[in-house]
Structure 1
Amino acid sequence: MKTSNIPLALALSLAVSIPTANGQERSEHDQMARDIYENVISFRTARGQEQVPAMVDYLVAQLKSAGFADEDIQVTDYDANGEHTQGLMVYYRADGTPKQKPVVILGHMDVVDALAADWERAPFSLTEKDGYFFGRGTMDNKYGVTNITSTFIRLKKEGWKPSRDFVIVFSGDEETGMISTRDQANFVAENIDPAFVLNTDAGGGVLAEDGSPLYYSVQGAEKTFATFELTITNPGGHSSRPRSDNAIYDLASALKNIEAYKFPVRYSDLTLASFNASGAVTPGALGKAMRDFSKNPKNKKAIATLRADPETVGTTGTTCVATMLRAGHAENALPQSATATVNCRIFPGVGVAATQETLEKVVDNDAVQFKLMTDVTESPESKLRPDVLNAIKASLNARGLDAPIIPYMESGGTDGMHYRTKGYDTVAISGAWSKPTDMFAHGLNERLAVDAFYGGLDHWYVMLKELSKQ
């Protein structure tokens, strides 16, 4: 880690601070961002709850109080799989005639649901404990929403006037059908036509277990998201008269076959370069496996190590995993049907049809009915533009961080895929730094380190100012 001079404007903005409950000094912007974070976490913006509109109302009120006019804010309504959700777009307009094309910044307001009975703490209340913020969405993606929203408010209060338009685009159902995402992407392409798109929902700094910075990751590609339902049916009957073809057992056998199957190893120039660069700064056996795989993607020992780690398995090929089950209709009756949800993250270039064909062969049971449940979007890789790279470097320098910047392919899926398919370079560049072992997005007790929350709050502030210069 090296030190560097903090820009004067940033230093001045950090000068005003207020004490926290434990005596630590926090700037007014820090406290404002924490308040937003706490409020947006409290909205249960999961499928079936219809809380996204309430979160939109809250964000709109904060933005208007900071000086954003009605014409700067656009709220759109959607019927997403039978429930009401919304999208939010916020324009930070250029001073006079824009000198460059706009920049669009993505985030999503919805979350995967969390059941309070399963969590150690209330999932929809922000809890600060043991150096972490706990709560559903603390990472995915309400930190991103909080960070860029608070940055817009901060810049507006300072009277900043950019040389180009910056546009926030928050979706309302990224975790489910992406109805709002698709519509927003169409609107952006037809009405805004940005120079490029940035995403708050992935990327960011990677820390070693001792907290030292390893590298800054930039999501430049993502795998194809596809969900299948696998169903077996039969006539059923009385539970006192078992049949040889029990729907639950037959489905269980099919799922065990899927569990045992490993899709072929895949790689691209991007993933090999990413493994080579990240392996150089990743300690231990995992780092060696990354380097070895980048040199020889047929190295069996490297493949085994990478596929044994949840952080890297998805980068080595397609994965399919069972995520949900439903079966039977009565405790004293044989099941007439059994259905499993299988979620696949498909390596670019493989395709959904080929993946289903492989699964059908693996299951090896003609009685299993396959149904594709998702509207599939296959997106190309994006380039890391020099102007974006320079802005990232400026953000790191402002924090005194000397870390390599490494593009990578995301194993999950984000709103960004729909902008890539429309021809826009789209990269995800979160302001958060975290350890791989602190990744609990979509899982129990999701959390973000308190230091990471506050440490990343200047990320977009520096980024937008740099992108306004270029």
Structure 2
Amino acid sequence: MPRSRFRTFISLAAALPLAVAAPAFAQDRTEHEQMARDLYRDVIAFRTAKGHTQVPELVSYLSQRLEAAGFAPGNIMATDYDSDGERTQGLIVRYPGKSRSKARPIVVLAHMDVVDARPEDWERNPFELTEDGGYLYGRGVTDNKYGVTNLVSTFIRLRQEGWTPSRDIYLAFSGDEESGMVSTRAQAKWVAENVEPGIVLNSDAGGIALASDFTPLAMRVQAAEKTFATFILTVTNPGGHSSRPRKDNAIYELADALLKVRDYTFPVQATPLTRSYFRELGKTVPGELGAAMRQFAEDPTDEEAIATLRADPAYVGTLGTTCIATMLDAGHAENALPQSAKATVNCRIFPGVGVEATEEALKQAIANDAVQFTLDTDVTESPISELRPDVRSALAKSLKKRFGNVAIIPYMESGGTDGMHYRTLGMPVVAISGVAARPEDQYAHGLNERILTESFYGGLDHWYVILKDLAG
């Protein structure tokens, strides 16, 4: 269980050595850009994936950097948690506003952990920031160490300028968003009880959608999330000697069930948010895909439009619930018939559908009572958040400086983020990442995760403009 006591980092004497050599710059960069690039390099080098226990080291490093920039030790707070038997930490940093301000604080979210990456599988070391062909590579360069780097560097930049916000601003960084979300839940509760924010903004979703030719299409603002649920499917069998095979085999039976999961398609869902998203985005997306978006917005029963959208990984999750097999565990010896076979099936459930209805749909598709279902998730269903006019205005100013006039479009996230736990406690959250990316450059959680080099630099003013506008 998480410990509620906060621990403050005071000393800079234990600063971690930075073994990664500084990268060469393709062009002259400002002092802030170089500082952010160095910070990015160092943050990527921490293997903050489950099983490596490096989140506390990253918390210590970030705390030292912020203290060196002038943040008082009492405003840099870390808290310890036990996440599935592993120690992790969260980090909360307060940027004090004007003492007499009555404006409620701003809270900005990011997560420090990453999905693990095996160096032997990558073309480049995933835990060393590498620039190649106009891209920066490394685990977490988008999800979500860019958010961490951008926010921390912005806090340092504002502090060094001597800026005092009109209200308190808090960074809330979680340590296990990609696994148990224990730190997320605890931080959301602490924020609700101790901060009572007026605005909660998330760096872990949304962002600027680019066309294949790098033309900016729209700023996507995450206003809702699907429900995350994982099921363990299990088939058991008496087993036996492999020299005496039988028709009943736990592995084959599970394989048959998984093929039926693969072939099952959940019904199309068309909420006002989904239809308005496709209507607006379809105005900017060229070709068949854009036409399908507009047609779906007009008629969500149009089979041709549905087929086009479902064929695109970037949009299939927007149309309804999806479930996909992600892990397997079967057998106990190479010369024995399997006594059990297990599969992990991860579902992203459309709001309002519910976990029970999703499980029942899968059971009916499989049509085999021998396949046992176990829910392996603490399920959180969160409401839709509204994009406030003041946040929209601040976001528009950031976009104007960077791209000119760009459409701002709220949407529902197919994945899940820390924001869901803040929403369930009554705090509206919108996610407005500064990343600009094409669909073909989306490699989060996969091999060779990358970000456009110019997207990294171009987004460094993103939070600077937004925070100054909302708390200026």
Q: TM-score, normalised by structure 2?
A: 0.94
Q: CA deviation at 1:21?
A: 3.8
- Matching residue of 2:139: 136
Match of 1:434 among 437, 444, 447: 437
Q: Counterpart amino acid of 2:362? A: L
Matches within 5 A, 1:21-420: 21-22=24-25, 24-420=27-423
**1-side partners of 2:195 and 2:99: how far apart?**
17
5+ residue gaps, structure 2: 1-21
SS in 2 for 1:285: helix
Give per-residue Cα distances to partners, 1:135-177, cap 9 Å, x unaligned: 0000000000000000000000110000001100000000011
SS in 1 for 2:120: coil
SS in 2 for 1:225: strand
- Matching residue of 1:5: none
CA gap of 1:360–1:20, structure 2 versus 1, over 3 A, is: closer
Q: Identity over aligned residues, as a percent?
A: 63
Give per-residue Cα distances to partners, 1:215-269, cap 9 Å, x unaligned: 1110000100000000101111110011211000000000000000000000111
What's the RMSD between the two structures over aligned residues?
Answer: 1.1
Give per-residue Cα distances to partners, 1:32-69, cap 9 Å, x unaligned: 11111101111111111111001101100100000011
SS in 1 for 2:119: coil
**2-side partners of 1:401 and 1:417: how far apart?**
31
CA gap of 1:303–1:28, structure 2 versus 1, over 3 A, is: same
**1-side partners of 2:213 and 2:275: how far apart?**
26
Alpha carbons 1:228, 1:343 under 8 Å: kept: yes
Q: CA deviation at 1:23?
A: 5.5
- Matching residue of 1:15: none
Alpha carbons 1:20, 1:26 under 8 Å: kept: no
Give per-residue Cα distances to partners, 1:331-377, cap 9 Å, x unaligned: 11111110000000000000001101111111111111111011000
Q: CA deviation at 1:402?
A: 1.3
SS in 2 for 1:169: strand
**2-side partners of 1:45 and 1:80: how far apart?**
13
Q: Counterpart amino acid of 1:263? A: F
**2-side partners of 1:309 and 1:301: how far apart?**
13
Q: Counterpart amino acid of 2:207? A: G
5+ residue gaps, structure 1: 1-18
Q: TM-score, normalised by structure 1?
A: 0.95
SS in 1 for 2:314: coil
SS in 1 for 2:121: coil
Q: CA deviation at 1:20?
A: 8.3
CA gap of 1:365–1:23, structure 2 versus 1, over 3 A, is: closer
Q: CA deviation at 1:211?
A: 1.0
Q: Counterpart amino acid of 2:189? A: N
Q: CA deviation at 1:400?
A: 4.4
Give per-residue Cα distances to partners, 1:91-140, cap 9 Å, x unaligned: 00102222310011000000001111111111111111101010000000
**1-side partners of 2:49 and 2:471: how far apart?**
35
Alpha carbons 2:400, 2:406 under 8 Å: kept: no
Q: CA deviation at 1:22?
A: 4.9
SS in 2 for 1:228: strand
**1-side partners of 2:296 and 2:417: how far apart?**
26
Matched, 1:424 2:427: yes
CA gap of 1:440–1:261, structure 2 versus 1, over 3 A, is: same
SS in 1 for 2:443: coil
Equivalenced residues, count: 451
SS in 2 for 1:26: coil
**1-side partners of 2:387 and 2:201: how far apart?**
11
SS in 2 for 1:117: helix
Q: CA deviation at 1:423?
A: 1.3
